[in-house]
Amino acid sequence: MLIKKGFPEDDELVLCTVTKIFPHGVFVKLDEYDHPGMIHISEVSPGRIRNIRDFVREGKRIVCKVLRVNQEKGHIDLSLRRVNEGARKEKVTQVKLEQKAEKIIEYAAKKMGKNFEQLHRSLFDKVSQSYSFLYESFDDIIHEKVTLEKLGVEPALAKPLTAFIMERMKPSQVSVHGILKLKSYASDGIGIIKHSLQEGIVMQKTPIEIVYQGGGKYHITVKSEEYKDAEKALGTFVEKTLQVFRKAGGEGDFMEAG
């Protein structure tokens, strides 16, 4: 992970590695910055702590919240207890995505015969005026919402970099799911079900995955780059399938899955 310049901001979430543990506090290294930090025992966990090592250990990576920064003394006070599970997972995911973006730049630098750190710095200096993280800009690039040229990168560099980004990243997708229950008492019930499902599929272009779970239940999955598009495709499929199936005398209903 490339080290950021300067100090973190107050309230910023930072990824840290525990370096030393004392009875009344924990010392860490901020992985994204070239600075140490300290967590007072009162900020490790709510309530009384009998053994601080029940919560942290040397070498463990943890997500902390920045409480105070004293740049003159180089002190950074942190909190572990003020980071909930949702925020922790989001930060870890954020770091992994940024590392993926850095890998793409490293790959591009090798192919172009350039210094990785210099390429990363020059690119981030431009992108950071509009985005907090490189991976956010890369995601918009592959979805054709922005270009490196519009972000201020010179065309001679933007063109090959864009090609590498498109090559190494795939558009992110979201999935929506549901259970479709179909029951037919006709002699050709299986054929009616197949025909109804097929009629639902041909109604829209988005690929649909259908898995039979037994007992007349079918697990339906629709994937798309946009949630609203996936949801719309699923709704259209279900509506058409049930319309055809019920017209043939079948009984059916649909339940959304989380």
Show the domains of the chain with their CATH numbers: 13-83 (2.40.50.140), 87-168 (1.10.150.190), 174-257 (3.30.70.1130)
Structure tokens at 36: 């140490």
pLDDT in tens, 82-116: 999 999 999 998 999 999 999 999 999 999 999 99
Please count the other Cβ atoms lying within 10 Å of the Cβ belonging to residue 41.
14
- Residue 257 clears pLDDT 90, i.e. is over it: no
Supply the DSSP string of 144-195, one letter for each residue: TS--TTTTT--HHHHHHHHHHHHHH-----EEEEEEEEEE--STTHHHHHHH
Amino acid at 103: K
- Identify the helix (H) or strand (E) that includes residue 110: helix 85-112
DSSP character at residue 225:
S
pLDDT in tens, 25-57: 999 999 999 899 999 999 999 989 999 999 999
pLDDT at position 4: 84
Is the pLDDT score of 199 beyond 80?
yes
Under the banding of pLDDT at 50, 70 and 90, the label for residue 258 is low
- Please give the Cα distance from 69 to 65 (Å, whole number): 11
Q: Which residue has the higher pLDDT, 195 or 257?
A: 195
- Percentage of residues of the chain with pLDDT beyond 70: 98
Q: What is the amino acid identity at position 108?
A: A
Please tell me the chain's helix, strand, coil percentages from 3-state DSSP, rounded to the nearest 5. Answer: 40, 30, 35
DSSP code per residue over 108-138: HHHHHT--HHHHHHHHHHHHTTT-SSHHHHH
pLDDT band per the 50, 70, 90 thresholds, residue 256: confident
Write b or e for each residue in 219-245: b if 16 or more Cβ atoms lie within 10 A of its Cβ, otherwise e.
Answer: ebbbbbeeeebbebbbbbbbebbbebb
**pLDDT band for position 5 (cuts 50, 70, 90):** confident
Q: What is the mean pLDDT of residues 225-243?
A: 89
pLDDT for position 247: 95
Q: What is the pTM of this model?
A: 0.62
pLDDT one-digit tens code per residue, 154-194: 999 999 999 999 988 876 677 889 999 999 999 999 999 99
Residues 227, 212 contacting (CB under 8 angstroms): no
- Residue 199 near residue 237, CB atoms below 8 Å: no
Pairing of the two strands 75-79 and 35-40? parallel
Torsion 7-141-145-206 (CA) sign: negative
Q: Amino acid identity, residue 159?
A: K
